[in-house]
Amino acid sequence: MTATPSPSFTHITGLYQAHHGWLQGWLRKRLGNAHEAADLAQDTFVRLMTSTASPVESVREARPYLATVAKRLMLDHLRRQSLEQAYLQALTLQPEPLAPSAEQQVAILQALQEVDAMLHALPDKVRAVFILSQVEGLSYTAIACELGLSLRTVKRHMARAMAECIVLAN
């Protein structure tokens, strides 16, 4: 007895066969790197297979849909790359005895990626309040003025962001 593929799997297979080459070329133009483009094109189709958001069969225009999914993955990839580069640059500025070991560097990069993912999952205003407070060092009053929020809202947003940090730490 053989299992028949689901309609969704069959549809994604058809999308892959029809548009994978185009999508990889589209990504290569934007990234300037064929290997990263190939990885992100694969990741795009993996995302389609694992997504529970909306059925792929309901998509009318495949290329704009694929481009949107790929663009989001590309932005995540570029953000992670930027974070890693900033960390590695900060490491080069450290005196040799203070520089962390290779294992510590990997652990720190993983922690930074987890924090970045947590921040990315927060609503825009909550993320902005957290970054202005914790990274830029602004007071709650200054944040309220800059973002046009009430002081109470700034405190509420910080409480939410801090709660997410505590969950991440555990």
Ordered by start, the domain boundaries in the chain are: 1-98
Contact between residue 148 and residue 160 where contact means Cβ atoms under 8 Å apart: no
Model pTM above 0.75: no
pLDDT for 3: 52
Q: One digit per residue, pLDDT tens: the chain, 170 residues?
A: 455 555 577 878 888 899 999 999 999 999 999 999 999 999 998 888 887 666 666 677 889 989 999 999 999 888 888 888 888 888 778 776 677 788 888 888 888 888 788 888 888 898 889 888 888 888 999 999 989 999 999 999 999 988 887 877 67
Sequential DSSP letters for 58-110: G-S-HHHHHHHHHHHHHHHHHHHHHHHHHHHHHHHTS-GGGSPPHHHHHHHHH
